[in-house]
């Protein structure tokens, strides 16, 4: 993890790929607390803002999960991993289109049912009626 927040103090996460570090991602970061962390699911195909360079676009520390290491986890096991790695976790912020777990089998409503804290699903951010996302930016 980069940054100054000790992992033992993390109480909020913004989870995603965060390839482009754009305005849509900033909407997630705004939901973090002072002890928040940007949790990057690293795909190693982040061609717009690769790996640690994402840190240039946020004041929050960044924690990386290797996608290949978590891709086959069942949804409950992924939430258990988050709880283990961040024992004080109280809030998770994700985009409304967030999917996780083996085969992308779980979504925001699943996360809300599995996590014992607050889950904030952030609506897609638009500019001039166009969605701001990495696909469109590319």
Q: Does residue 34 carry a pLDDT above 50? A: yes
CA distance 11 to 136: 32
Most confident of 4-18, 41-55, 105-119: 105-119
Question: What is the residue-averaged pLDDT of the chain?
Answer: 83
Q: The pTM is what?
A: 0.81
pLDDT confidence of residue 138: 45
Q: Give the contacts of 88 (CB within 8 A, at least 6 positions apart).
A: 8, 9, 10, 11, 35
State both tokens at 135. 């696909």
Q: Confirm if 35 and 9 have CB atoms less than 8 A apart.
A: yes
Q: Output the pLDDT for position 8.
A: 81
Mean pLDDT in residue range 35-47? 81
| DSSP-assigned states of every residue in 20-84 | S--HHHHHHHTT--TTEEEEEEE-S---SS-GGGGGGG-SS-EEEEEHHHHTT--HHHHHHHHHH
pLDDT in the model for residue 59: 83
Mean pLDDT across 4-28: 79
Top-ranked range on mean pLDDT: pick from 18-22, 27-31, 94-98, 114-118: 114-118
């Amino acid at each position: 993890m980069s940054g100054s927040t000790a992992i033992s103090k993390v109480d909020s996460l913004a989870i995603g790929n965060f390839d482009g570090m754009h305005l849509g991602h900033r909407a997630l970061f705004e939901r973090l607390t002072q002890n928040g962390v940007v949790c990057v699911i690293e795909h190693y195909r982040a061609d717009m803002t690769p790996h640690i360079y994402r840190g240039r676009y946020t004041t929050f520390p960044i924690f990386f999960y290797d996608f290949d290491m978590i891709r086959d986890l069942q949804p409950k096991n992924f939430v258990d991993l988050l709880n283990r790695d961040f024992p004080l976790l109280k809030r998770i912020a994700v985009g409304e289109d967030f999917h996780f777990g083996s085969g992308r089998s779980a979504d925001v409503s699943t996360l809300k049912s599995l996590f014992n804290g607050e889950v904030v699903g952030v609506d897609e951010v638009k500019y001039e009626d166009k969605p701001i996302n990495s696909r469109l930016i590319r």
